[in-house]
Chain A
Amino acid sequence: AQTVTQSQPEMSVQEAETVTLSCTYDTSENNYYLFWYKQPPSRQMILVIRQEAYKQQNATENRFSVNFQKAAKSFSLKISDSQLGDTAMYFCAFMKYNAGNMLTFGGGTRLMVKP
């Protein structure tokens, strides 16, 4: 079974600064996907970024980028130029390849962006 761990329950950052959220996972699989989802107070889970394990290049989406370290089983999210709208719960999630679409989520990190 896979497990996903987010060791930072809460973090805060000043507007316009950079913050990094940590995620580690445990799996014996070689092919899988990793995701970061954002859940604002509106509750809707929104995809932030996705990484395929077979790709060595780290995924980027505008101000969001990841540091994927496969050997270390680490998948951190960097948010640059933080904005007030980035305030939300952030969840790291794992999905095995060729095993349906069951996502295994971490416990989440609550990020507060301060003006």
Chain B
Amino acid sequence: ETGVTQSPTHLIKTRGQQVTLRCSSQSGHNTVSWYQQALGQGPQFIFQYYREEENGRGNFPPRFSGLQFPNYSSELNVNALELDDSALYLCASSKAIQGEVTDTQYFGPGTRLTVL
């Protein structure tokens, strides 16, 4: 069974740039959630994708957007990067039936984004 994978591991960008982070879900999982974890804090929910559509969103501005592909992998896109976007971005996958989670979320190792 393949676990959740994320790429890249580390990324450095400058303020105002755009970034794309990628996530491959665990085998058999159809739902992907993204979280932002600032240094020394707990993760905060950004959004969730199910059946290639956004299926829940946290308190993040529209410049945070995402995609889910037919193979259930996902991308997180952040436009107009700000210094406060520096964080660890975690992807989690789970199995849902009709949009409702039936299983625990399993996390990837994260992408460390630094905005200068």
Residue-wise interface mask of B (53-92) relative to A, using a CB-CB cutoff of 8 A (1 in contact, 0 not): 0011010000000000000000000000000000010101
Contacts of B88 in A (CB 8 A): 43
- The range of chain A's interface size is 20 to 34
> Does B58 lie within 8 Å of A47, measured CB to CB?
no
> Does A100 lie within 8 Å of B90, measured CB to CB?
no
In-complex Cβ contact of B31 among A45, A93, A101 (8 A): A101
**Given A45-B43, A107-B42, A100:B104 Cβ within 8 A:** no
Instruction: Give the A-B contact count at a CB cut-off of 8 A.
Output: 63
- Rounded to whole angstroms, the CA-CA distance of A98 and B55 in the bound complex is 12
- Rounded to whole angstroms, the CA-CA distance of A105 and B41 in the bound complex is 9
Contacts of B108 in A (CB 8 A): 44
The SS class assigned to the A binding surface is: strand
| Distance in Å: Cβ of B113 to nearest Cβ of chain A | 13
**Given A43-B109, A98-B100, A100-B99, A108:B58 Cβ within 8 A:** no
Contacts of B55 in A (CB 8 A): 100
Nearest opposing residue in chain B for A93, CB measure? B42
Residue-wise interface mask of A (92-106) relative to B, using a CB-CB cutoff of 8 A (1 in contact, 0 not): 010100111111111
> Does B104 lie within 8 Å of A35, measured CB to CB?
yes
Chain A CB within 8 A of B48 CB: yes
**22 A-B contacts (beta carbon < 8 Å):** A43-B110, A43-B112, A44-B107, A44-B109, A44-B110, A46-B107, A50-B104, A98-B100, A100-B101, A101-B33, A101-B48, A101-B96, A101-B101, A102-B45, A102-B48, A102-B58, A103-B33, A103-B45, A104-B45, A107-B42, A108-B40, A108-B42
Having A42-B109, A43-B110, one finds 7 other A-B pairs with CB under 8 Å, namely A4-B42, A43-B88, A45-B43, A95-B101, A100-B48, A100-B56, A100-B101
